[in-house]
Structure 1
Amino acid sequence: MNDAAPATTPDGPWLIVGLGNPGPSYAANRHNVGFMVADLLAERLGGGFRSHRASRAMVLEGRLGPPGGGGPRVVLAKPMSFMNVSGGPVGALCSFYRVPPDRLVVVHDELDIGYGVLRLKRGGGDNGHNGLKSITSTLGKDYFRVRFGVGRPPGRMEVAAFVLRDFSAVERKDLDYHVDRAADAAAALVTEGLERAQSQYNG
């Protein structure tokens, strides 16, 4: 494996990061929906993630759009640190691939919007999300987010317990649909720009 840094080019890559926690015990958690979206995008690119030793992340490089269509260069990534220290791997990836904040897209779970609802934005606060908090402390806040709604915890359930539980049986019935739509939204943000992607997917 060669982790030599790529040469800088005018057509630099986009970095799409799906947030989650590593390991099978977390795989189906609400907090891991960013990983689910990244996995689907990787499937669409027809490749598999590989370990990127310089950043403690799994990465896949490719181009969005139809095969052979010369779409934008992208690096898909899943940090292999735990959520609350995601900023280290994401910062290392941005440095390695020379990705500025305006080419970084972070896909994450969002408590303050309903299950399956998407909101695309650039910048803003972290809303108590530890993964975003860590990335912002490393890179500043001027990056793109694909916010995947998981809703608020019921009753008096603690937020941490809620996001570290698997999606409910009812939610799982159409989870694939919502993950597919979030992957479409991330791709549209890169290929069509924020405003057009927002008009299609913010709901």
Structure 2
Amino acid sequence: MNGIKLFVGLGNPGNEYEDTRHNAGFWWIDRVAAITNSKLANESKLFGYAGKLRNEAWLLKPTTFMNASGRSVAALAKFYKIEPESILVIHDELDIPPGTAKLKKGGGHGGHNGLKDIAAQLGTNEFWRLRLGIGHPGDRNEVINFVLHAPSKNEMQLIEFSIDDSAPLLDSLLKGEFEAAMLKLHTKK
């Protein structure tokens, strides 16, 4: 079974978005880069910050805005011949409470414009997703405002907990041990 060759954290570029809920995927990539001593550099031809992870895989933070994330993912995947089923997209998830992370393969985009663009650019939605719960504002009309604002201190601690919980799955994900990774992640201690 093939493991993950490309880890993509979703977010929006720029200081004004750095602390917003929509950047949870960037936070995950930053944590993994720190843990593994991986260096990311701005790669203009890949439309993102990219770096090697232990010579086994790539880390990527697109520098496009969220709704154009697929441009960066497709550029790196095409250049390095990485199949969609070997891609893991880490993103914020409204339908999961803060503090919870879920791993799954495929599925719809659930209104997430980053996922929608990645599926369109890759020509399939059969890539892996690590969904970091950010909670829901309770009103559909408040979603855009919600994701583009910083979480409360308590919510941020919970989101960081879900990142701490999911980052150690790296080795399982690299080896393609998805069942084991899901079991660890989805089973509450």
TM over 0.5: yes
Q: Bigger radius of gyration, 1 or 2?
A: 1
Query: One-letter code of the match for 2:151?
Result: F
2: distance between equivalents of 1:143 and 1:21? 21
SS at match of 1:124: coil
Please tell me whether residue 94 in structure 1 is matched to residue 77 in structure 2.
Answer: yes
Matched residue SS, 1:75: strand
For this pair of structures, how many residues does the alignment match? 185
- 1:18-167 aligned at under 5 Å gives the runs 18-63=9-54, 73-139=56-122, 140-154=124-138, 158-167=142-151
Inter-partner Cα distance in structure 1 for 2:178 and 2:104:
7
Question: Runs of 5+ in structure 1 lacking a partner?
Answer: 1-10, 64-71
> Which consecutive segments of 4 or more residues in structure 1 shift more than 6 A?
none
Q: Is the 8 A contact 1:120 1:145 kept in 2?
A: yes
Deviation for aligned residue 1:177: 2.4
Q: Could you list the runs of 5+ residues in structure 2 that have no partner in the other structure? A: none
| Displacement after TM superposition at 1:114 (Å) | 1.1
Q: Is the 8 A contact 2:25 2:92 kept in 1?
A: yes
Question: Separation in 1 of the partners of 2:177 and 2:127?
Answer: 13
Letter in 2 for 1:194: F
What fraction of aligned residue pairs are identical, expressed as a percent?
38
CA contact (8 A) 2:43 2:49 kept: yes
Normalising by structure 1, we get a TM-score of: 0.84
- SS of 2:45's partner is coil
Aligned to 2:160: 176
The structure with the greater share of residues assigned to helix is 2
**Aligned equivalents of 1:45, 1:155: Cα separation in 2:** 39
